[in-house]
Structure 1
């Protein structure tokens, strides 16, 4: 039995956690771009993303190497938003780099995990801020609230791609 199955027993009908989307932006406030695959750079972030090239809004004070949010988090936020803002969440306007399915972000707390060829480690929660509302739409930050994702560190670099499994690895 794998470590993941020991930590998170699955029923027959439950899908395995996987990477559903990857988003990057070249600089603070730039449009988020969806990509199918990307290089995760050890102790740096995602190749070409604003934080890996020191151009993020929070670069000086609160930068994260990589941000991650779950579909579960996004579904909770959508219950508090108008239809137009819900549609924006589906296209990366939450401004998080990685979207995962079938695993809650709180299940990654203090864990190391693999996505594709890279290994990540939970770092801290990533609360929303007023800047999110300023560039993406008033009310988005409040709707995300406590379910706004997490910061993760790239422990070992490698290529990650949409569809890759998310697997907890032993420390």
Structure 2
């Protein structure tokens, strides 16, 4: 099989990067809620999320407009956790806004990317802190230590929905 055929065949059968889940919370420490569709607000964050309404725990010094984590990161974090804590990761208790599948977060470093109608830009890694253990369960911060996702900014607002493709844009 030629190189081009191998490339074509492998790319045809590889799952495309997509948005798997969206979570928001109205204020610091509030329960994360799953939504199917939401508006990303330019230079602000996700509509009604704690950071877009200036009610986040890290609002004063370390706020992110939007946080993103990959299923790959979550799978790594699950190793060694109790069944209870693993289940909490599956329901948004990682406290990240967006969960993407079929894409490692390092691919987004220094990149601009589109999800649905919105355009985002990589900002920085988002390490967990002790606050996560305090509100979600002791051990989650440690499990997410090296696999905790990233901060992104909203470059252009628009609606995003679970199932939307994640497309890295060429700058």
The two structures have a TM-score, normalised by structure 2, of 0.94
- Is structure 2 residue 118 aligned with structure 1 residue 114? no
Map of 1:16 onto structure 2 = 16
**Count, aligned residues:** 163
Name the CA shift for 1:121/1:28 in 2 (closer, same or farther; >3 Å). same
Deviation beyond 6 Å, 4+ runs, structure 1 = none
Provide the C-alpha distance between the structure 1 equivalents of 2:58 and 2:12, rounded to a whole number of angstroms.
42
- Is structure 2 residue 67 aligned with structure 1 residue 60? no
Root-mean-square deviation (CA, aligned residues, Å) is 1.1
Which secondary structure does the structure 2 equivalent of 1:51 belong to?
coil
The correspondence of residues 1-171 of structure 1 with structure 2, limited to 5 A, is 11-171=11-171
Q: What's the offset of the Cα at 1:14?
A: 1.2
Gaps of 5+ in 1: 1-8
Provide the C-alpha distance between the structure 1 equivalents of 2:11 and 2:42, rounded to a whole number of angstroms.
34
Which secondary structure does the structure 2 equivalent of 1:132 belong to?
helix
Q: What's the offset of the Cα at 1:10?
A: 5.4
Which secondary structure does the structure 2 equivalent of 1:146 belong to?
coil
**Greater radius of gyration (CA):** 2
The two structures have a TM-score, normalised by structure 1, of 0.94
Which secondary structure does the structure 1 equivalent of 2:144 belong to?
helix
Provide the C-alpha distance between the structure 1 equivalents of 2:80 and 2:122, rounded to a whole number of angstroms.
27
Provide the C-alpha distance between the structure 2 equivalents of 1:41 and 1:11, rounded to a whole number of angstroms.
33
Gaps of 5+ in 2: 1-8
Map of 1:5 onto structure 2 = none
Provide the C-alpha distance between the structure 1 equivalents of 2:59 and 2:10, rounded to a whole number of angstroms.
39
